[in-house]
A and B are shown apart, each in its own frame.
Chain A
Amino acid sequence: MAATAGSALRIRAVSKTFPTPEGGEVLALDAVSLEVADGSFTVLLGPSGCGKTTLLRCIAGLESPDSGEIELKGVRIDDVPVWKRRVNTVFQSYALFPHMTVAHNVAFGLQMDKLPKAEIARKVDAALEMVRLSGLGARRPSQLSGGQQQRVALARALAKEPEVLLLDEPLSALDLKLRRGMQTELKRLQRETSITFMLVTHDQDEAMSMGDQVAVFDSGRIVQVGPPRDVYLAPRTRFVADFIGEANILQGTASAQTITVPGFGVLSTDALATDGVAAADGQVFIAVRPESVTILPAADGNGTVVDATFVGGDLHIDVKVGDVVISARQAGAAPGALSAGDTVRVAFPSGSVRVVEA
């Protein structure tokens, strides 16, 4: 992980609007800024229509931003046409040229660079070798499986040795098993080539397992950037807490150093994660991960078990506290430990509660 080598990509206040068919306008990117370290693996994560693909397309040059700057290795590329940018894309649909063989597909970009024939042949072989498709160069894309087509698309982009490789939901068309394999494969390729990878996905598991850095998008804005673990443990907004993993979101009233939550009373200061409260006053939202919630049978408890189900090895418990239902997860709980109707005490251990922006 060579995150210290400086910046590969610097995006400053990039905005982009699209006209809607009804004649209105949609703000797809709202002054988005992002810095991508050289040789890193950055994941743009967010739900459909949040703008993450638009940003990728702006970087590729397939879309031109209304305002803002994009720098590649310190050089502005906003006005450089697509075909001159040293950035390549793996398209969601793969976009393989159906009338060319696999080898010709991979060679296409190199031919556009007017490289000598021998060098093209060598690079094509190397690229196919890298994605483990050696020997399939003479096939047509239509003769390959979905996973193999995906690898051709990768080889085709990697053969150009781009400064940044952009991957637009590259795994969404693959079935679950294949996707897991390709995730590992992509990580390996990124390590071996030490090319900067930038991947768009709406799958939070994918983002968590692959990225060195995750940028979470919400309605055209990047709401949080950081290593996956940090984003998971310290979600900044209600949206991030909810979108990444599961979270119980509760509303409370903040005053000074305490937060009062209906059904839970005043949360002790040590339950709160260190940052956050100071800034908040009045109505606040707090987020608690289900696996952090502790549940103990207690006759004088504050909640009633609504549902308790085993999923895999975990016990998923829904508890009604006051008007809200809290989800909790207990690993290695004995079957029958809890059942619907039990009165329990629900508590949040120290450091598990985060105050989040609405």
Chain B
Amino acid sequence: MSRARGTGESLKNFPFFGVISIIVFAFLYVPLVFVVGYSFNANRVVTVWKGFTFDWYAEVLTNNDIQRALMNSLRVAVVATMMSVLLATGLAVGLIRMVRAGRTFAWSLIMAPLIIPEIVFAIGTLALFVQIRVPLGVEAITLAHVAFCIPFALLPIRARLRSIDLSIYEAAADLGANEWPIFRRITLPLLMPGIVAGALLAFIISLDDFLVSYFLAGPGGTTLPVYIFSMIRNAITPGVNAVSTLLLLISLLIVTGSYLITRRRRY
């Protein structure tokens, strides 16, 4: 006698998995809800609710240090994004044409920043820059960010590149196009959604980074996360929540944008 009764759908469900899943989702989101919620707290003590106010946002947005840190963060993120997307596009195209050993080596280099503990990468870069006399600050942070933004920029571009039917290139060559026209008229436009998605991901990764920026900031290179860290260290007020909420909002908007671009099937 078979136990397989009822619909196939219910058979796929294992006991408590649904409940556990909902609890895990709550675990993932409730902390963020508290960050956002207390940013409207009128009390200086974050967790003791006194009333609703927008005052912290006003205070945060008019704070010169925060404005400067935000500008630094944006400068780093924009330049790091452009550089990493450029290098990643080249890598995506180049990887396909490499011999196996070269590809393995390149792939290890690309993925290393994702696996190696960030602290090692951070102090290693610091030591390297001090040794070869690269001044610490916004430019130093940008260079370091490019290294770990590349894998995030690369993966969507590579996925896109792999989805292109090889006979498309052959058709273009057959119709009279050689290397450069094919790249400009065929490959690049077809890669565009991947490039945009990769750029958005690289941008958030750079914008949100704390540890590497913290070690490479030097005087005047303070980025927003580094500034938030010092706020948390000094005095926790709902102001911290307000800046954090703004940063969360930027991340959320960008990751949603990237998600929609990757989902949308234009062709």
Contacts and interface: CB of A to CB of B under 8 A. Distances in A.
A83 B176 contact: yes
B267 A83 contact: no
Interface stretch (A5-13, A20-28, A90-98): A90-98
A140 B267 CA distance: 8
Nearest to B192: A99
Given A112-B177, A113-B176, A95 B190 contact: no
B185 A108 contact: yes
A108 B167 contact: no
Interface in B175-230: 175-178, 181, 185-186, 189-190
Contacts of A81: 173, 178
Contacts of A84: 176
Interface in A141-159: 141-142, 156-157
B185 to A, nearest CB: 7
Grouping DSSP codes into helix (H, G, I), strand (E, B) and loop, the B interface class, with mixed when no group exceeds half, is helix
Interface in B35-89: none
A108 B177 CA distance: 9
A95 B176 CA distance: 15
Contacts of A88: 174-175
Contacts, number: 67
B190 A112 contact: no
Contacts of A97: 168, 171-172, 186
B267 A95 contact: no
B165 A83 contact: no
Chain B CB count within 10 A is highest, among A61, A99, A140, for A99
B170 interface: yes
Interface in A118-172: 140-142, 156-157, 160
Interface residues of B, number: 19
A95 B178 contact: no
Contact of B168 (A95, A109, A113): A95
Nearest to B190: A99
Given A93-B167, A97-B168, A98-B190, A62 B267 contact: no
B196 to A, nearest CB: 14
A271 interface: no
Contacts of B171: 89, 91, 95-97, 156
A141 to B, nearest CB: 8
A112 B167 contact: no
A62 B174 contact: yes
A83 B190 contact: no
A140 B174 CA distance: 21
Contacts of B173: 61-62, 81-83
A95 B170 contact: yes
B86 to A, nearest CB: 21
A99 B170 CA distance: 16
Nearest to B188: A99
A93 B169 CA distance: 12
Contacts of A92: 167
B175 A108 contact: yes
Given A93-B165, A95-B168, A97-B168, A112 B267 contact: no
Contacts of A99: 189-190, 266-267
Given A87-B174, A95-B170, A112-B175, 4 more contacts: A82-B170, A82-B174, A99-B267, A160-B176
Interface of A: 60-62, 81-84, 87-89, 91-93, 95-99, 108-109, 112-113, 140-142, 156-157, 160
26 contacts: A60-B174, A61-B173, A62-B170, A83-B173, A83-B175, A83-B178, A84-B176, A88-B174, A88-B175, A89-B170, A95-B165, A95-B170, A95-B171, A96-B171, A97-B186, A98-B168, A98-B190, A99-B189, A99-B266, A108-B172, A109-B176, A112-B177, A140-B267, A141-B267, A142-B267, A156-B171
Interface of B: 165, 167-168, 170-178, 181, 185-186, 189-190, 266-267
Q: Which 7 A-B pairs have the closest CB atoms?
A: A109-B175, A112-B176, A98-B267, A95-B171, A95-B167, A82-B173, A99-B189
